[in-house]
Amino acid sequence: MRRSRRRSGVTMLELIITLPSATVLIGAMAMCITVMMRAKSQDDTLFRSTYDLSNAATQIASDIESAVSHVSSSTTHIEFVVPDRSGDGLPEQMRYEWGGATGENANKILWKYNQEPVSVLFDNVGTFELQKGTVLPPSSVPNHLRSDVAVLKSINAFPSGAFREQVINAGNSIGQYFIPDVPGSGVKWDLGSIRIMVRAADANLDGIVRIRVTASNTATKLPIAPILAEVTIAESRLGKDYQWLDIPIAPITWQTQGVPMCITIGYGGGTGDVARVQFVENGTGMPANANLVNSIDGGTTWIASKGARGLRFYAYGLYDGYSGQRSFLSSVDLKLGSSLTTTQKIETSVRLSASPEIP
């Protein structure tokens, strides 16, 4: 019987012929695998970015929705107060801010909670925009301004200024023109007391100091009629060294915002000089709408002082009224975009349940 022969392998010639084809095939397969792995990696990155962007929008919107007080906001940040979350009975303050397109915090959303350090909340955020969606200014809720006793105007020590004194006698008087500083507009005010820096003039202590509150003129900045209030102080009440003297003023008629007045300090009786009153000269940063005035004929005529001069004084009183309309924030428009691709964007409008007032 004749046995058949079987080939147990390939010849060297066959191997040499097929090797280049196998190399090309293996290379092609490797390239396909690399492309597939890169595509998967990009898909994973984009998926993660989409997931983070969605979480960022959800968290920010949820916190804004529960805001009970608006602190500040712009197109790239918002800071607000929410009810207690830690169980200590106190509200929580938080701030969301985009780190911008360049710099150390580029494409990051930063978060600050109460007094804790700022932390990075989300990465790869290429665009972040906030807009006040709806601002409600109901005319039925005007902004009511009412004070307890407040400082209406004051001048004390100022950088580079020097303290000078004015002797008060039958000829010499000193005064202060001012317009009270009250907030808002259309607010009325009333003077309740003044404080001046004063001392006795000499050892006689028989003098009388006369203090008047008068109307004034915004053009001349000088005292004019009528006299709104008058108080006399015995020189014997004054110390030998300068000290603050508080002087109650009988209530005067409520004055309209922007109406000026003058405080004058003059001679009321006694021998020679009756007091010495201190003022500031050449102080930087002196308040606006305030000017020192002097008289050398017992208060018959007055002269407005030139330069930065002001009586060392405080004017205390009340203000009351309404200023414009209050504005309330009822919604915020939020836009987020990925820094990895221009196709990933989220836009949403958040309604604030408490509609907090905008300062």
94 in any annotated domain? yes
Q: Residue 169: what pLDDT?
A: 97
Scan for tokens 């100091």, then name that residue: 209
Q: How many domains does the chain have?
A: 2
Q: Are residues 271 and 252 in the same domain?
A: yes
Q: Are residues 190 and 316 in the same domain?
A: yes
pLDDT tens sequence across 283-329: 777 888 999 999 999 999 999 988 789 999 999 998 887 666 667 88
6 in any annotated domain? no
Residue 145's nearest CA partner among 353, 318, 356, 341 is 318
In three-state secondary structure terms, 319 is strand
Q: Residue 145: what pLDDT?
A: 61
Q: Cα–Cα distances in Å, from 59 out to 40, 63, 87, 148?
A: 28, 6, 20, 41
122 in any annotated domain? yes
Q: Are residues 203 and 283 in the same domain?
A: yes
Q: Cα–Cα distances in Å, from 133 out to 62, 64, 104, 304?
A: 16, 12, 30, 52
In three-state secondary structure terms, 188 is strand
Contact between 358 and 136 under an 8 Å Cβ cutoff? The reply is: no
Q: Residue 1: what pLDDT?
A: 47
4 in any annotated domain? no
Q: Give the Cβ contact number of residue 283 at 10 Å.
A: 21
Tally the residues of the chain: 359
Give the predicted TM-score (pTM) of the model.
0.53
Q: Residue 342: what pLDDT?
A: 80
5 in any annotated domain? no
Cα(167)–Cα(263) distance, integer angstroms? 16
Q: Are residues 165 and 282 in the same domain?
A: yes
Q: Give the Cβ contact number of residue 200 at 10 Å.
A: 21
156 in any annotated domain? yes
Q: Are residues 186 and 316 in the same domain?
A: yes
pLDDT < 70: residue spans in the chain: 1-30, 32-47, 134-148, 159, 184-186, 322-326, 359
Cα(153)–Cα(164) distance, integer angstroms? 20
Instruction: Output b/e per residue, 325-348; b: 16+ Cβ within 10 A.
Output: ebbbbbbbebebbbbbeeebebee
Q: Residue 325: what pLDDT?
A: 62
198 in any annotated domain? yes
Q: Are residues 304 and 196 in the same domain?
A: yes
- The residue range of the domain holding 136 is 11-140+326-359
Q: Are residues 45 and 148 in the same domain?
A: no
